[in-house]
Amino acid sequence: MTIRPRFVVLSAAVAASVLAAGITMIGTADAASTLGASAAQSGRYFGAAIAAGKLSNSTYTGILNREFNSVTPENEMKWDATEPSQGSFNYSGGDRILSQGQSMGAKVRGHALLWYQQEPGWAQSMSGTALRNAMMNHVTQVATHYKGKIYAWDVVNEAFADGGSGGRRDSNLQRTGNDWIEAAFKAARAADPNAKLCYNDYNTDGVNAKSTGIYNMVKDFKARGVPIDCVGFQSHLGTSIPGDYQSNLQRFAALGVDVQITELDVAQGGNQANIYATVTRACLAVSRCTGITVWGIRDSDSWRTGENPLLFDNSGNKKAAYTSVLNALNAAGPTNPTTSPTTGPTTGPTTPPAGGGGCTASTSLNSWNGGYVATVRVAAGASAVNGWTVSLTLPSGSALTSVWSATNTGTTGAVSFRNVSYNGQIAAGGYTEFGFQGTGTGPAATPACQVG
């Protein structure tokens, strides 16, 4: 007796809201009204660096919960925070950020496993084999603690020198041997095979000596099968942006890695709103640019004191830069409009046709003698996908050695890959990607995709 009247009331409320939504839709096409929702229209995220100590501020968390679908800990997962004394780990701040991200259904970017700054005091005074062992233990322990929960890790941060050398920055980490970066990536992959593993740096906003040094490292890693999935472009920008910002992203994407804008902020002095829009459009134009993170929420939260470089003012009001980013995201429409990279070692179609409901999958291979890395794009058709499984058959002699952003069944012959927690939902017309590494020759045929 009580259920029936409630049902009627609910139906009326739903009908009213559908009607209201329908009226709102007229003239606004598919525009979404928050950064996260508008980025999600093309399968991307829009994130913010956040600080655990600010989560009790209701203005701060109000904006965070409303606008963003990815979070990065500004300091809480760094070495000094997570391993304050050797072998003794403290995850309180990092876990606080993680649970905030999980409560929002957001992606969580891990930042940063190894960085020459913010080393704990005990590590600063170490060198040689003792330091190398401590570094690798740190990577293994922290990546294991957060296993399965991190979308992408900045495994190594800021290891390249500024200026014209294109070489490595001197540090006690670097002095343990030039192979410290690849050793860190291998340790991270072993600890958390589902996290995307990124190299992250600044002053890489166009084609320059520093970005080219990093490009050459990534190319070498891909050629030798060192696990690397993404490159982070911090994008701490002043009053201008290099004209080749987008083509620089594109040349990295063509190596077979994702690219992400990881710490965006722009000085307010000049064309702040235009520069923000230019960065946003560049990411949208590069199919492997998976998302953008701004380095803080309000101007008062920024590390760049006095430059007012963010999207919200000190009171939490939206700035002109906010509107320009939102408009740029919405201009991209509900599907990813971009074409995949056509140069470099990535081959095969990367944007499969996906008519009707269901899902489709396609594979890009980066092969070398004796092994390969496969990137598989899973695309939704005309309806949103909630959970997916991709099946394929590996050629004889091929075996999986690692899988990321999916969970596999089987390692040889007929194998299948199931979504993980953060990439099961794909918007209509959108896509997600996972990958695997194997021995022998990679799969040639188009994989099958099943929803549910």
User: Cα 424 to the chain's mean position, in Å?
Assistant: 15
Q: Least distance from C-beta 303 to ligand G2I, angstroms?
A: 4
Question: Which are the contacts of 301, defined by CB distance < 8 A and separation ≥ 6?
Answer: 51, 54, 60, 310
Q: Which is nearer to ligand G2I, 163 or 413 (CB)?
A: 163
Active site residue 263: yes
Please report whether residue 194 would count as binding ligand G2I according to CB under 6 A. no
Binding residue for ligand G2I, selected from 192, 205, 263, 301, defined by CB under 6 A: 263
DSSP 368-381: ETTEEEEEEEEEE-
Q: Least distance from C-beta 185 to ligand G2I, angstroms?
A: 18
Within positions 333 to 372, which residues make up the interface with ligand G2I, using CB under 6 A?
Answer: none
Among candidate residues 375, 346, 367, 363, the one with its CA nearest the CA of residue 447: 363
The CA distance from 292 to 322, in Å, is: 13
What is the C-alpha end-to-end distance of the chain, expressed in Å? 36
Please report whether residue 92 would count as binding ligand G2I according to CB under 6 A. no
Q: Are 210 and 166 in contact (CB under 8 A)?
A: yes
Q: Are 379 and 360 in contact (CB under 8 A)?
A: yes
Please report whether residue 303 would count as binding ligand G2I according to CB under 6 A. yes
DSSP 338-369: PPPP-SSS--S-SS----SSSEEEEEEEEEET
Q: Least distance from C-beta 36 to ligand G2I, angstroms?
A: 21
Q: Which of 67, 263, 307, 433 is catalytic?
A: 263
The structure tokens listed for 115 are 């960085």
Q: Are 178 and 167 in contact (CB under 8 A)?
A: no
Q: Least distance from C-beta 277 to ligand G2I, angstroms?
A: 23
**Helix, strand or coil, per DSSP, at residue 269:** coil
Q: Which is nearer to ligand G2I, 52 or 273 (CB)?
A: 52
Q: Which is nearer to ligand G2I, 304 or 418 (CB)?
A: 304
Give the position of tokens 């496993």. Answer: 113
> Which class for 452: exposed (0-12), middle (13-18), buried (19 or more C-beta within 10 A)?
exposed
Please report whether residue 389 would count as binding ligand G2I according to CB under 6 A. no
Q: Are 140 and 114 in contact (CB under 8 A)?
A: no
Within positions 203 to 242, which residues make up the interface with ligand G2I, using CB under 6 A?
Answer: 234
Q: Least distance from C-beta 248 to ligand G2I, angstroms?
A: 18
Within positions 104 to 163, which residues make up the interface with ligand G2I, using CB under 6 A?
Answer: 117-118, 157
Q: Least distance from C-beta 268 to ligand G2I, angstroms?
A: 17
Q: Which is nearer to ligand G2I, 53 or 452 (CB)?
A: 53
Q: Which is nearer to ligand G2I, 49 or 394 (CB)?
A: 49
Strand 45-50 with 70-73, pairing: parallel
Please report whether residue 192 would count as binding ligand G2I according to CB under 6 A. no
Q: Which is nearer to ligand G2I, 36 or 73 (CB)?
A: 73
Please work out the total of residues on this chain that contact ligand G2I, with binding judged by CB under 6 A: 9
The CA distance from 307 to 10, in Å, is: 49
Please report whether residue 293 would count as binding ligand G2I according to CB under 6 A. no
Please report whether residue 74 would count as binding ligand G2I according to CB under 6 A. yes
Q: Least distance from C-beta 291 to ligand G2I, angstroms?
A: 17
Binding residue for ligand G2I, selected from 75, 141, 235, 432, defined by CB under 6 A: 75
* Minimal CB distance residue for ligand G2I: 303
The CA distance from 93 to 59, in Å, is: 20
DSSP state of 54: G
Q: Which is nearer to ligand G2I, 201 or 229 (CB)?
A: 201
Residues annotated as catalytic (active site), given as ranges = 263
Binding site for ligand G2I (CB under 6 A): 74-75, 117-118, 157, 202, 234, 263, 303
